Chains A and B, each alone.
Chain A
Amino acid sequence: MNSTNRNNSFLSSSLTMGERICSAFIPFVAVIDFLIYAMANCFECRPRHKKIRYGFTDLTRLSNETRFTVNEVEALYELFKKLSSSIIDDGLIHKEELRLALFQTPFGENLLLDRVFDLFDEKKNGVIEFEEFVRALNVFHPYAPIEAKIDFAFRLYDLRQTGFIEREEVKQMVVAILMESDMILSDDLLEAIIDQTFADADADKDGRINKEEWKAFVLRNPSVLKNMTLPHLKDITTLFPSFVHDTEVEDL
């Protein structure tokens, strides 16, 4: 009698057919959810609630690989921590965070920002890690060799990484910088600007600038590389003081 009652109660339950089907699936969803989470750990897709931290050994290694002293690397770490926690606090600089730092807004598109981000992101994993940050800034140091700056700038402007800075690419970049001030120029005017530059830079007149032509052009026009040097890097320890006792305390 009890069993029939139970059977009857199931059939005459107030749940709709849809709700009953859903409730039947719940245990399966729970199992799948658990499997995904377990598998995610294998693929390192775990939610980034764990922040990446750097210890003294890492900072020393970076100092050895670059022209920054350990104190300067520590100071850069202070700057990096500020930048990398501005939107997503995960110890990594995302593109929005770089955009926020340079444009005061995380929104919008900017071709030149994309290029800078791309060059900093050596591993091409969509984020700038601290090592990448330090190694890139190493090129901007006032004492960095001019060849490193020439090379970095060439790769920056070689939008499609073909080994040449093409006319079309220069046009795209000029349009992009004018857009920052909401300036739109006529095509004729744009062409005139590029004509003049290419007359100076494109020695073999093939409509594109190769590495050698770029080097010669930059040496004739040093102000082209003006933004490749950050004088503040020399005084980084005064701009971002970090206290010595913190060094030992950082977890690895």
Chain B
Amino acid sequence: MAGEGEKKAVLEMVQADGADEGCVTFVLHDEDHTLGNSLRYMIMKNADVEFCGYTITHPSESKINFRIQTRGGIPAAEPLRRGLNELSDVCQHVLNTFQDSRGVLWRS
């Protein structure tokens, strides 16, 4: 199952034959440690995830291999989606807190 656009792929899923849906390697294009490490942290905080790691296949290519293994038969796309949502919520909260604190400094 590959998520391909017309021009170029953004996200692909690679699954070994015979393995269940819980062990999947995602290939994220045009990404590096910026999203890779922060997403890995959020997904590792999920108790259903047995293994989570990412690697940059070659420094000349900007893509990362992101592997998720879940326990309990949960499809691997679910912790990925949850991790992305949680990271997005963290950013939103950081943004709100930053803007509030900045407002306080201007007023004082």
Do these two chains interact? no
Give me the interface of A with B, judged by CB distance under 8 Å: none
